[in-house]
């Protein structure tokens, strides 16, 4: 069975979004062109940023229809990441909150894609 290992977000400006994610993730892209930027992250996971104006077949979806989820090492890291991202000017949709699955918050990238940071409850 195939295993998902690559997410593509449709963005207005791959260059702008590439710079945003490079700063946010502390990682440089492995591929950059005017229409596409790709990051290879831990364990081979890939994040692609594709120009919504050139993707084929054309995509009608806009940001906010899903979430890119980032796990952190502990509950205080949720709060620290929130503080860092708020200082960077990211729009925060949900401040750090304890939910049934763990501690979490939600922010938006420049294209309106939801970014959820979480630490799961200890099992």
CATH number at residue 28: 3.30.720.120
In a domain, 56, yes or no: no
Per-residue pLDDT tens over the stretch 30-61 = 999 999 999 999 889 999 999 999 999 988 87
Percent of the chain with pLDDT over 70: 99
Residues 46 and 89 in one domain: no
DSSP SS3 for 112: coil
Domain count, the chain: 2
pLDDT value of position 22: 98
How do 67-71 and 91-99 pair as beta strands? unpaired
Q: Is residue 60 part of a domain?
A: no
Asked if residue 97 belongs to a domain, the reply is yes
What's the pTM?
0.88
- The range of the structural domain enclosing residue 43 comes to 6-51
In a domain, 114, yes or no: yes
- Residues 72, 118: Cα–Cα separation, whole Å: 6
Query: Per-residue pLDDT tens for 101-123?
Result: 999 999 999 999 999 999 998 75
- Please indicate, yes or no, whether residues 78 and 113 belong to a single structural domain of this protein: yes
Q: Is residue 74 part of a domain?
A: yes
């Amino acid at each position: 069975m195939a295993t998902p290992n690559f997410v593509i977000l449709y963005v207005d400006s791959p260059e702008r979004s590439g710079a945003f994610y490079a700063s946010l993730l502390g990682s440089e892209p492995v591929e950059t062109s005017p229409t596409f930027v790709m990051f290879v992250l831990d364990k081979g996971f890939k994040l692609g940023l594709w120009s919504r104006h050139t993707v084929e077949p054309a995509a009608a979806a806009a940001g906010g229809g899903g979430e890119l989820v980032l796990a952190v090492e502990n509950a205080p890291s949720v709060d620290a990441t929130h503080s860092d991202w708020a200082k960077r000017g990211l729009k925060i949709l949900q401040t750090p909150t304890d939910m049934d699955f763990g501690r979490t918050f939600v922010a938006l990238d420049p294209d309106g894609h939801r970014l959820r940071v979480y630490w799961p409850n200890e099992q």
